Amino acid sequence: MKYILLSLGSALLLLWPVRSLIRRRRCSINYLPGPPPGAWLVGNLPDILCPKEQGEVELAWLQEYGTTLHIKHTFGQDMLWIADPKGLQYILNTGYNFPKAKEHIAAMDMLFGRGIIWAAGSEHARQRKMMASSFTFSALRGYIPLFQQIAQRAVNRIKNDTFSKTTSEVVDIMHWLPLITLDIICEAGFGYQLNATEKGEESTLAAVSHNLFPEVFYDRPIISLALETVAVYVPASLVNLAFRIPFRKVKRLYKYRKVTREEAQDIVNEQMKLRVDGKGDSRDIMSTLVKASTAEDPGLKLNRRQILAQITNLFFAGHDTCAITTTWAIYHLSRNPEYQALIREEIKATRAVAAKRGDDELTITDFDSMKYLLAAVKETLRLTPVVSGLAREAGKDEVIPLAIPQKTKTGEIITSVPVRKGTKIWMALMTYNRLPEVWGLETNQWHPERFLEGRTGGQKGSLEQRSVAGFRDVWGGVLGIVFHLPSRILEMQAILIEMLENFEFSPPPGNVTIMMQASVITAPMVKGGKEGEAELPVSMRVL
């Protein structure tokens, strides 16, 4: 009897927040057009988060219904789906009025800890202010030599590992790039020698990070979407018990969390001692964290647990995001040999200018002058963004302006959308990146020339100013910290420069089709290959 009562109590505990959600359900946006609502339990979320290929459903919605739609969240809740440029910009520019979705915050807390990815509102502003000194122009300038050195080491490793007996081979470049970016975040960010490129999966951190999100989240059970909503209302101590469930994917996440926290402990122990002894780079992220541990100002102070959370947050934010975007850049360049050759000539010319002034390595000014390479990176971010969208909520009653007029179900044309406090919002970033009104013609094609020619679709301002979704934000409005645009672009440039100087890339033989995998991050996947495996085979020839 005791166990029956306990089971009933547990069921009520889980169902009570669902009941509350239903009672609070708003219908203020149901006049907007949208797709059929899907199952009551999960709504349209499977179409967004679990499609066979990322973006395929949302791009179809764009064609049929427009840029501002009414869709369904879990348990019948209304959700605003928006790809409108002015609307997205309004949400981003008033970010603390549109906080991260509660489900997102709970998931980040459980997996990464209470660092910059997790933080919201005033806490996010505090952490962002505290970390800002690690991303000044002076700090970025100091990172450049290290970025280049790590990329050079990786190129040598690839040559020794793969091309010792041949000059041409098909290589899964997705295997190598996460190792490179993991070394970069550890060395440039924390002054910590991980040597993932040399060790490969002998590095415990590299092993647990390898293919994590594709393996765990690709083709996930849709019931998990509903459970994430319920988890918001369950005490964290009970949510953490989920890691004890003996399912393969859950065990994989638990191992990742355990190893990253242990690795963060090792970094803190080693680096704290070095910094106390006056050693280490005073401009890197680790120095900022050490200073925060001794700060007298409560607004700038971090305790040890918070420092560990920042490191585990940045393992993900400074690692997978950059690796996947660089992988997509190589994919696009391998299918555009003329543009690839153009960049190679640009690199050669820039090297000559640097040599003439007596520099062995390129500087941040050199990187900034490479317009063809920069355009390739930006176009890659536009066409194949590392995340397809962002989940937000209205923090108060708001009116979101629209640049593209939207027709309602009754045929009325509107140029703004009132939303009530608590309204769920999906910022459809990938869809925005395909809008012809913003980007001009052929938005489904990789054309970096659009950034050189300034092609527009009629919107005012340059492409740089209007590229809200591709570059401004990754997972929660954290431009400048989590996916710091200047540092991430510099990192990608450094890797691509070394790769393109040493290798020529082309598609692999045979009919190999690459899909955009939906697994939290938009990783490449071979169609017909192993499901849940992020990979990008390319033919590489040593130059």
CA angle 245, 251, 254 (to 5 degrees): 100
Q: Which residue has the tokens 């950034």?
A: 451
Torsion of CA 317, 320, 325, 328, to 10 degrees: -170
For residues 506 and 2, give the distance between their C-alpha atoms in angstroms, rounded to a whole number: 66
Beta bridge partners of 82: 68, 427
Helices marked H in 370-523 — which ranges?
371-383, 429-432, 436-439, 449-453, 463-466, 468-471, 485-502
Residue 217 has pLDDT above 80, yes or no: yes
CA angle 428, 432, 435 (to 5 degrees): 145
Question: What 8-state DSSP symbol labels residue 189?
Answer: I
pLDDT average, residue stretch 163-189: 92
pLDDT score for 468 = 40
pLDDT score for 466 = 47
Cβ-proximal residues to 133 (8 Å cutoff; 6+ apart), any chain: 139, 283, 288
Residue 192 has pLDDT above 50, yes or no: yes
pLDDT score for 277 = 66
Q: What is the pLDDT of residues 64-88, one digit of tens each?
A: 999 999 999 999 999 999 999 999 9
Q: What is the pLDDT of residues 356-396, one digit of tens each?
A: 999 999 999 999 999 999 999 999 999 999 889 999 999 99
Amino acid letter, residue 475 = W
Q: Identify whether the C-beta of residue 504 lies closer than 8 Å to the C-beta of residue 334.
A: no
Domains (ranges, CATH) in the chain? 1-542 (1.10.630.10)
For residues 479 and 472, give the distance between their C-alpha atoms in angstroms, rounded to a whole number: 6
For residues 290 and 300, give the distance between their C-alpha atoms in angstroms, rounded to a whole number: 11
* Distances 379 to 86, 385, 403, 488 between C-alpha atoms, Å: 21, 9, 23, 15
pLDDT score for 485 = 65
Average pLDDT, the chain: 85
Residue 527 has pLDDT above 80, yes or no: yes
pLDDT score for 531 = 82
Q: What is the pLDDT of residues 259-292, one digit of tens each?
A: 999 999 988 888 777 766 666 556 678 888 888 8
pLDDT score for 484 = 57
pLDDT, greater one: 105 or 178: 178
Could you tell me the two tokens for 434?
């395909």
Q: What is the pLDDT of residues 422-466, one digit of tens each?
A: 999 999 999 999 999 999 889 999 999 999 976 555 454 444 444
Residue 26 has pLDDT above 80, yes or no: no
Q: How far is CA 245 from the centre of its chain?
A: 27
For residues 396 and 418, give the distance between their C-alpha atoms in angstroms, rounded to a whole number: 11
pLDDT score for 146 = 92
For residues 183 and 198, give the distance between their C-alpha atoms in angstroms, rounded to a whole number: 10
Q: What is the pLDDT of residues 346-356, one digit of tens each?
A: 999 999 999 99
pLDDT, greater one: 100 or 25: 100
Classify 170 as helix, strand or coil: strand
